[in-house]
Structure 1
Amino acid sequence: MSHSIPATMHAVLLNGLGGLEQLEYRTDVAVPQPKDGEVLIQVRASAVNNTDINTRIGWYSKSISSDTGSGGAGGFDSVNGDDASWSGASLKFPRIQGADCCGYIVAVGKGVAASRIGERVIVSNLLRTYVDHRPYECWTFGSECDGGFAQFAVAPSKETLKVECDWTDAELASIPCAYSTAENMLHRTKLGVEVVLITGASGGVGSAAVQLAKRRGATVIAQCSAAKASEVQALGADRILDRKADFVSILGENSVDVVVDIVGGEDWPDLLRVLRLGGRYAIAGAIAGPMAEIDLRTLYLKDLTLYGCTFQEDEVLTNVISYVESGEIRPVVAKTYPLNEIHQAQEDFLSKAHLGKLVLIIPEVNQ
């Protein structure tokens, strides 16, 4: 096993669907025990992500049709909890959220080599082990199982990956969810030396996509607010479009090869109009709203391919780790917070005033 592991830990419990009041900071939560094939991680940091908020408020339920910000702080007045998760099933409460996890392995379950103890690791936020690696199925770390908003977390050994770098815990905790999501969209669309339009380019996934697309040699058109334009350009964007820009009038129809979309919303049809013949569109979020209309003629007459991007092949995260270790990418950490300030961290996240990642720092054991 390991050096001294306490019986209880500090953690944030999600007690039900709703507003920030459903997040309860506790100091007496039982430390989980690794089962066969699992490892126990002492968590050092966990970033804030849209999915943490979406899960808390039940936004994944088909009963909700508004944007994520509408219920982000206070929750929704009415939500059907039966399908309010990534997997479309009801959540079990209390749940420890946190899709991101950076830390050190401190204990192992049966079947896992004890030599893994001491490794600095991150956890895949989309876990295939618990669904027997069935295609297009996964559990989300911090949704279908407990995640990183705690001093300790368990995860499958095969999906807990060693990383060797000199980054801070906050930087490394920014990688699993945002960077794997962005890389997956580029992987699925097979982005090469082409023109790509990235929406929501100042957020965690968007800023990751800018860096990862430039790594592939693409010409990057990034959409963000004017206040963040210079920072997004510093990440590698070749051209900036304002958040309220009219894509068609500025770029022209048939002007980009790939669209990487995290925003959705009412402007969605224009993203298909700016795609060239044979263009590819990838989506992994809809913070501006999940409901959209499509002119099917645009889709079939232009031979477009649309990719919904949740499931990830195993190589997506391992590729990202290789970019980290080779120094090809580096996240922007806007601010850090102690775990017990999770309410403030999520409020700041919802304000969208930052660029990059907001990260929760987990207290040291016995602190």
Structure 2
Amino acid sequence: MKAIVHAHPEGFSGLRVMEMDEPVPGPGEVVVSLQASGLNHRDIWTVFKKRNDPVILGSDGAGVVEAIGTGVNRVEVGQEVIINPSLGWPLKSDAPPEGFEILGFPKHGTFAEKVRVPVENIEPKPQHLTWEEAGVLPLAALTAYRALFTRGQVKEGEHVLVPGIGSGVATFILLMAKAVGAQVTVTSRSKEKRDQALQLGADAAIDSHGDWAEQMAGEQVDLVVDSVGPATFDQSLDRLRPGGRFVNFGETTGKAVKLPLRPFFFGQFTLMGTTMGSAEEFREMLRFISDHQIRPVIDKIYPFTEAQNAFLRMEEGEQFGKICFVASL
């Protein structure tokens, strides 16, 4: 089968499309014939990890059950499914359990014509989604759901700030927050992305390079959901109301920030980290997007043969929404 793999050397030059052995389901596993899959920042970080053998990248995917292993009785061949990339995290908890992994490294992932996963990691495909929309949904939507609801505890009428709109997770946060009646302000250096966010329903979109307090007329927010890190941390914290919550799930501009302690403890802020989510939250998220008929924002669709172009587009931050892969166009 055809697959996007990473081997030697490290970096994007190690990306290639090659024939890999077709997976065979073991006990408690299924093989899914993939219709579409989605690119995430995790895939970019993964190409810079050292490895001995080629690994199929990709965490997102949706398709049709092709084969089932022994002991599998809750799904049937031919069923349309979506893949939960959180391996070994069944129930909602404060943090992932020991042994938690994400599909796509070190185990083979979804940038292939077929993938093998535990049966507990598939759920029925939401009927209102196309294959491309379902294929790009899992990792980003799960991350957004846990950040916004499990950790952030967002409520109707609250004001949410989303720095750096444009990523798949950030667009999901915008759509989900609006679905529960929150006010949403986003930031971006790009006027085009700010305009796109307003079209998606954002209440305000401000220039990341400007003075946030001035652009927001001094208004503060109840919740910041951030993945940018150092480049925007101080301005984000400054816009948080006393007693507000700050949830971080990424580090796109650096690995560390300086935390101004006096504003932090006088502000009575709550700072939380989050990543991915459990199978329980994945099911909650699917019900939520079905109930509210939320559709992922798809930036571009690429065939496997254009994998390097897709990776570079994300690396350079040009996308708005999710980048999708299909085996061929």
Q: What is the match of residue 316 of structure 1?
A: 281
Query: For residues 52 and 218 of structure 2, what CA distance do their matches in structure 1 show?
Result: 46
- How high is the sequence identity, in percent, across the aligned residues? 29
Query: For residues 253 and 327 of structure 1, what CA distance do their matches in structure 2 show?
Result: 32
- Is 2:144 the partner of 1:182? yes
Q: What is the match of residue 56 of structure 1?
A: 47
- Is 2:166 the partner of 1:202? yes
Runs of 4+ aligned residues of structure 1 deviating over 6 Å after TM superposition are none
> What is the deviation of 1:252?
6.6
TM-score normalised per structure 1: 0.82
Q: What is the match of residue 157 of structure 1?
A: 119
1:135-194: per-residue Cα shift (whole Å, max 9, x none)? Answer: 523211112321101111111111211124143221111210111111111121100120
Match of 1:42 among 33, 36, 41: 33
Q: What is the match of residue 215 of structure 2?
A: 250
Q: What is the match of residue 127 of structure 1?
A: 87
Matched-pair contact (CA < 8 Å) for 2:7–2:52: no
Q: What is the match of residue 18 of structure 1?
A: 10
Matched-pair contact (CA < 8 Å) for 1:253–1:276: no
Query: For residues 139 and 289 of structure 1, what CA distance do their matches in structure 2 show?
Result: 23
Matched-pair contact (CA < 8 Å) for 1:254–1:273: no
**What is the total number of aligned residue pairs between the two structures?**
323
> What is the deviation of 1:247?
2.6
Q: Secondary structure at the match of 2:56?
A: coil
Q: What is the match of residue 320 of structure 2?
A: 355
Query: For residues 31 and 281 of structure 2, what CA distance do their matches in structure 1 show?
Result: 23
TM-score normalised per structure 2: 0.91
Matched-pair contact (CA < 8 Å) for 1:120–1:164: no
- Is 2:237 the partner of 1:278? no
**Quick one: structure 1 residues 253 and 54, their matched pair in 2 at CA, closer, same or farther if it must change by over 3 Å?**
farther
- Is 2:54 the partner of 1:99? no
Matched-pair contact (CA < 8 Å) for 1:40–1:107: yes
- Between 241-250 and 333-342, the greater mean CA deviation after superposition: 241-250
Q: Which amino acid aligns with 2:294?
A: I
**Quick one: structure 1 residues 44 and 311, their matched pair in 2 at CA, closer, same or farther if it must change by over 3 Å?**
closer
What 5-or-longer segments of structure 1 have no aligned partner?
1-8, 59-80, 82-90
- Between 277-286 and 250-259, the greater mean CA deviation after superposition: 250-259
- Is 2:189 the partner of 1:229? no
Matched-pair contact (CA < 8 Å) for 1:189–1:282: yes
Query: For residues 74 and 215 of structure 2, what CA distance do their matches in structure 1 show?
Result: 58
**Quick one: structure 1 residues 146 and 279, their matched pair in 2 at CA, closer, same or farther if it must change by over 3 Å?**
same
**Quick one: structure 1 residues 134 and 258, their matched pair in 2 at CA, closer, same or farther if it must change by over 3 Å?**
closer
**Quick one: structure 1 residues 204 and 324, their matched pair in 2 at CA, closer, same or farther if it must change by over 3 Å?**
same
Query: For residues 337 and 262 of structure 1, what CA distance do their matches in structure 2 show?
Result: 25
- Between 205-214 and 158-167, the greater mean CA deviation after superposition: 158-167
What 5-or-longer segments of structure 2 have no aligned partner?
none
**Quick one: structure 1 residues 216 and 327, their matched pair in 2 at CA, closer, same or farther if it must change by over 3 Å?**
closer
Query: For residues 134 and 279 of structure 1, what CA distance do their matches in structure 2 show?
Result: 19
Q: Secondary structure at the match of 1:116?
A: coil
RMSD of equivalent CA atoms = 2.3
